[in-house]
A and B are shown apart, each in its own frame.
Chain A
Amino acid sequence: MRTLFKTLFGNLATIGAVAVVLAAELLLRDLPVRWLVVPSLTLAAAAWLSLRP
């Protein structure tokens, strides 16, 4: 069950990173600049996840 959950959703850090990205998308939903800000934030999230053991 734990393996299934991890396969589908990843660990808590991944879930948190995606939640932050989605929150940014919601906040910037009226602004075309979201197409630049959100990918940058997503890349930063990937970089942060890469530093985690």
Chain B
Amino acid sequence: MHSLTPMIDWSVALPAFLASSVEWVEAFTIVLAVSLQVGGRLAASAAAAGLATVGLMTLLAGGLVRRGADLGAVRLVIGIFLLLFGLRWLGKAIARAAGLRSLHDEGHEFDRTRAALSRADRGAAWLVAYKGVLIEGLEVWLVVVSLAIGPSGWTSSAGGALVGLLLVAATGLAIRAPLARVPENSIKFIVGAMITGFGSFWTLESLPGRAGQASGLRGDWALLGLELFYLGGGLLVALLLRRFRPRLRASGA
């Protein structure tokens, strides 16, 4: 009989929870807009279909990752995906913090989705909700699968995303309004740094020296150091950009 604590790797569960939470918040905004337009039952069925698709993809990919978890090549590929994903998040987060890009606003997104839905029939509205959950869920899927390396990776990664989903769904159903007070922009900055840190860690670890020698820094401390470096460095870059570049408030960015 195992206790739960050793099964959870918090360095994996936390980024999975944070990354998935902000994606679920965005998906909830779309589903809420659809539910007000065509009814809660139709919106819920679309959300359930989207979640089922993402769940199935997660189960399939999880099996593949667990089979190849010991292979350096799998870690390298996953590290590349994390770098692609993390760099995008970190770049956007720096731009938002520097005032070069407008902050993400769920209230605005909600109004925009409702305006777009005003011309849609029930079938089109269902598709909007389904696609919204699927696209946001796809990003969650990417993070969950990528973080699911290691003996407790799968439980921690999928568990973190599931807790995020339940928390957002429960809060959203309770207040029945866009979750605009969730500090999405700050969370995205932290998650961008964490995901980029994971990406660097896995790619650097998967490419040993030609003679196969140890690379020096390894393990949890190296990962934590990378994440802190990207977080601190990203904040510093944002500060410098805010100071030395004119503000370019991109409309709709």
Contact = CB atoms under 8 A, between A and B. Distances in A.
Contacts of A25: 203-204, 207
Contacts of B250: 53
A30 B213 CA distance: 8
Q: Do most interface residues of chain A lie in helix, strand or loop, or is the interface mixed?
A: helix
A17 B200 contact: no
Contacts of A43: 229-230, 233-234, 237
Interface stretch (B5-13, B84-92, B108-116, B174-182): B84-92
A38 B94 CA distance: 19
A26 B76 CA distance: 12
A27 to B, nearest CB: 10
Contacts of A38: 200, 204
Interface stretch (B43-51, B120-128, B134-142): B134-142
Contact of A51 (B95, B142, B200): B95
Interface residues of A, number: 33
B135 A34 contact: no
B87 A14 contact: yes
A31 B214 CA distance: 10
A38 B196 CA distance: 12
B65 interface: no
Nearest to B88: A10
Given A30-B210, A34-B215, A39-B230, A50 B100 contact: yes
A22 B80 contact: yes
Contacts of B95: 50-51
Interface in A15-49: 15, 17-18, 21-22, 25-26, 29-32, 34-35, 38-39, 42-43, 45-49
Given A43-B237, A47-B94, A53-B250, A30 B209 contact: yes
Contact of A35 (B192, B217, B241): B217
14 contacts: A7-B135, A8-B81, A8-B84, A10-B84, A14-B84, A14-B88, A18-B87, A22-B83, A34-B215, A39-B226, A42-B230, A46-B237, A50-B98, A52-B91
Given A10-B87, A43-B229, 6 more contacts: A4-B138, A22-B83, A32-B215, A42-B83, A46-B94, A50-B91
The 6 closest A-B pairs by CB, nearest first: A49-B91, A50-B94, A32-B216, A50-B95, A46-B90, A30-B209
